[in-house]
Amino acid sequence: AQTVTQSQPEMSVQEAETVTLSCTYDTSESDYYLFWYKQPPSRQMILVIRQEAYKQQNATENRFSVNFQKAAKSFSLKISDSQLGDAAMYFCAYRSAPGGAGSYQLTFGKGTKLSVIP
């Protein structure tokens, strides 16, 4: 079974600065998807960014980018120019590729609570 580990329960960043959230995962599969989800207080979880394991290029979405190291099984999220609205729980998640075991489901880490200091 796949596992996802987020070793930073809490992080803080000054507004306009850059912060990196860490995520490692364990799998024996070669093809899979990785995601970062954001869960603001009392609001629904939304997708921040996704990465397909077969793609070597790191995904980027505006101020959000990832550092995907497949051999190291590491998938960190970098938030540039942090804004007050970035304050939330961030979850790293794994999903098997089509045809893989449990490929319908997302496996989440425990999350990192990000605070943004004005």
Partner 1 sequence: DTGVSQDPRHKITKRGQNVTFRCDPISEHNRLYWYRQTLGQGPEFLTYFQNEAQLEKSRLLSDRFSAERPKGSFSTLEIQHTEQGDSAMYLCASSPGTWTEAFFGQGTRLTVV
Q: 8 to 67, contacts with partner 1 by CB under 8 A?
A: 33, 37, 42-47, 50
Measured from the CB of residue 4, what is the shortest distance to partner 1 in angstroms?
8
Q: Exposed, middle or buried, 107 (CB in 10 Å: 0-12/13-18/19+)? A: middle
CA-nearest of 55, 53, 58, 60 to 33 is 53
Measured from the CB of residue 44, what is the shortest distance to partner 1 in angstroms?
5
Query: For partner 1, which residue of 64, 102, 115, 118 counts as binding (CB under 8 A)?
Result: 102
Q: Is 93 in the site for partner 1 (CB under 8 A)?
A: yes
- Residue in the block written with tokens 């939330």: 88
DSSP per position, 58-105: PPEETTEEEEEETTTTEEEEEE-S--GGG-EEEEEEEEEPTTSTTTTS
Closer CB to partner 1, residue 23 or residue 79? Answer: 23
Closer CB to partner 1, residue 16 or residue 47? Answer: 47
Closer CB to partner 1, residue 5 or residue 18? Answer: 5
Q: Which helix (H) or strand (E) holds 113?
A: strand 112-117
Contacts with partner 1, residue ranges (CB under 8 A): 4, 33, 37, 42-47, 50, 91, 93, 98, 102-111
